[in-house]
Amino acid sequence: MAQEKKLFTLEDMIPGGVTHHKFIPENLSALKWWGDKVAYYDIEQEKLILIPARKPHAKEELELEKINQALEKAQLKKLHTLQRVTFPDKDHMLITAPDYYALYNKGSITWKMNLETIPAHPDFCYPNRTLAYTIDNNLWIANEENTHQITHEPEGVVCGQSVHRNEFGIYKGTFWSPGGKYLAFYRMDERMVTDYPLVDISTRIASLNPIKYPMAGMTSHVVTIGIYNTETRETTYLKTQDPVDRYFTNISWSPDEKDIYVIELNRDQNHAQLIKYDAQTGDKKEIVLEETHPKYVEPQHPVLFVKGTANQFIYQSQKDGFNHLYLYDTGGKLIKQLTQGNWLVQQVLGFDENGKNLFYLSTEESPLESRLYKVNLATGKRTLLTTAPGIHQVQLSSCGNYVIDNYSAADIPRIIEIVDVNKQKRVERLLEAANPYADYKMPEIEVGTLKAADGVTDLYYRLLKPIDFDATRKYPVIIYVYGGPHNQMIRNGFNWITRGWDIYMAQQGYMMLTVDNRGSMNRGLEFENVTFRHLGVEEGKDQMQGVEFLKSLPYVDENRIGVHGWSFGGHMSTALLLRYPGVFKAGVAGGPVIDWAYYEIMYGERYMDKPQDNPEGYEECNLNNLAGNLQDKLLLIHDDSDDTCVLQHTLSFMKACVDAFTFPDLFIYPGHKHNVVGHDRVHLYEKVSRYFFDNL
């Protein structure tokens, strides 16, 4: 007799749960290229597995014990794992420990650097064997010979770290030149930005832990870019336009280290300029190209110089409505548009060995997928390299002849292969993961399209039917929503990337619907910016199309529809209950934006403009103004240390509801920021689930 299939628990389905790790498809730990060898870490055997791409069966093994012997001989502490080692070139392994950096090659430590302090924001330059890092918001560099402090700034000035609240593709604050002669870095003066009070309740008397949080329409921080010369030990700052109310993004170097390129953006975010500066003097050389848009321009990628050239680069832009690749010369002349069509380039991976072809991931096959292509720079010919449907995560080898293709699809948990991009065929399959859900009852997952509120645009939806589904019954439904920019909830990954909680609730007898409304990602600029100046409004209309779809299904109980979302989804969940009272019986909004005037400048002003320039839009989208419409059950959940959607959003809504004599519910998670992480996340989803059990 076949064993009866099991049911999931929240510990199984929620990240942070005790058994959650069992339901993540098998992967290869620390998988990356070491030259033209695939390297990954065998955790159980404590060794690196090395597979030459040209001869995959000539597998090698490098044991942790052997590396520790070399470390011990060099009078360095032993490692407990090799999961965090990196490979800066084809011969050396970079070992990073809290108090040292070391290079390992063929059984010995060839270089080492001891550190007295654990570095923050480390950035290692292999050509000059130098580490850039920060201590107390000042920038330092260290190598085998000495340690040197670069900046000496007062409190309120931050150097060598990410700026502009990580918008515009910014994720770090230091940028080594190709040969390591120069180090570019961000300097951010926040002294003019108002302190925002966060409260730390872990002390006996709660203490203030203020952050700098520039709200829409208010004074922002001022950013400049320094260039440190490692030979002269002198720092020069770029002579930019007035840095007040200006964003400095997407920093890149010319191959000869003479010039540095910066994409600069005005505060209105509708005019971008790619500007070239002299790295030695900081002088502005020229505006290479400019881009404007009546709504917004959002640069997210630095220019990429063509391999083997010093006068041609790849520029990414949405100027034709989709993110595409353009080949320019350094004088700003367009040589050719390399990609075009009603699809977008998602990621550029690099060039082949001779620089003739460029590899990239795109949605050309489907907005729900990521596939690998190459484009020939001379002819513009595009070639599909990964034919299997799904989401492909790809790493390109140093020579550009091979890739590691790590992909999944709706019915494929994970496959990892080495692919020869020249022959366009698989060299070796490294892993085919088993289905971790095989022994458990799974809901039916249906994916399809419905029309947006404009009656024209197709929207993708994902519908989960309860386990043991009976079409003659009437089921309650929960809509899980995000709906904002830079997110897509439905893609052709394993189980259609369905969230674990959705599967759990389908097991409990609920139907679960998600719709990627207009405003979400991977569908082009017009699809996204239809929400400009009134965030949440058009998105809500599209979500209501999902409700109409549900009502058309004979097995849906239209009197028991709920909604849940977090962050932008928290805004959407609250807005749907307030703008469409009586439609939803219950909702749970986590970390919601309530009033966009309380949100930060960079994101908020891109999509809403300043409050003083768009007062009607801010009024329309301020959910405090709609508090009197609340007639359904609503639970708001917020983290008390949220530094993204500050607690003021939820507290202001509570006051508005008191004034309007309406009655939402509230739950606070102490000690968490913009989401509940760790094992507390299981508690969060137990709380959310119980609210729907009780009210839906």
pLDDT tens digit sequence for 563-609: 999 999 999 999 999 999 999 999 999 999 999 999 999 999 999 99
Distance (Å, rounded) from C-alpha 378 to C-alpha 382? 11
Domains 10-373 and 444-695 share a fold: no
Distance (Å, rounded) from C-alpha 405 to C-alpha 394? 5
* Angle at CA of residue 153, ends 147 and 154, nearest 5°: 135
Architecture of the domain defined by 444-695: 3-Layer(aba) Sandwich (3.40)
**547, 560 in Cβ contact below 8 A?**
no
The predicted structure's pLDDT at residue 4 = 86
Q: What is the layout of strands, in order, in the sheet containing 29-34?
A: 29-34, 37-42, 47-52, 60-63
Angle of helix 568-579 relative to helix 537-551, nearest 10 degrees, comes to 70
pLDDT tens digits along 66-95:
999 999 999 999 999 998 899 999 999 999
Going from N- to C-terminal start, the domains of the chain cover 10-373, 444-695
DSSP per-residue codes, 103-149: EEETTEEEEEEE-SSPPEEEEEETTTTEEEEEETTEEEEE-SS-EEE
The predicted structure's pLDDT at residue 644 = 97
Burial class (CB in 10 A: 0-12, 13-18, 19+), 449: exposed
Length of the chain: 696
Q: How far is CA 154 from CA 140, 149, 157, 188, 226, in A?
A: 15, 14, 6, 11, 16
The predicted structure's pLDDT at residue 488 = 98
Low-confidence ranges of the chain (pLDDT < 50): 1-2
pTM check: above 0.85? yes
| Domain 10-373 CATH class label | mainly beta
The predicted structure's pLDDT at residue 117 = 87
The predicted structure's pLDDT at residue 185 = 98
Distance (Å, rounded) from C-alpha 615 to C-alpha 622? 10
Distance (Å, rounded) from C-alpha 125 to C-alpha 350? 19
The predicted structure's pLDDT at residue 3 = 64
Distance (Å, rounded) from C-alpha 587 to C-alpha 556? 17
- Tell me the catalytic residues: 567, 642, 674
Pure H helices in 560-679: 568-579, 601-608, 615-621, 648-660
The predicted structure's pLDDT at residue 12 = 98
Looking at residue 578, the DSSP 8-state letter turns out to be: H
Pairing of strands 37-42, 47-52: antiparallel
Q: Provide CB contacts within 8 A for 387, sequence distance 6+.
A: none
Tell me how far apart the 2 most distant CA atoms of the chain are, in Å. 79
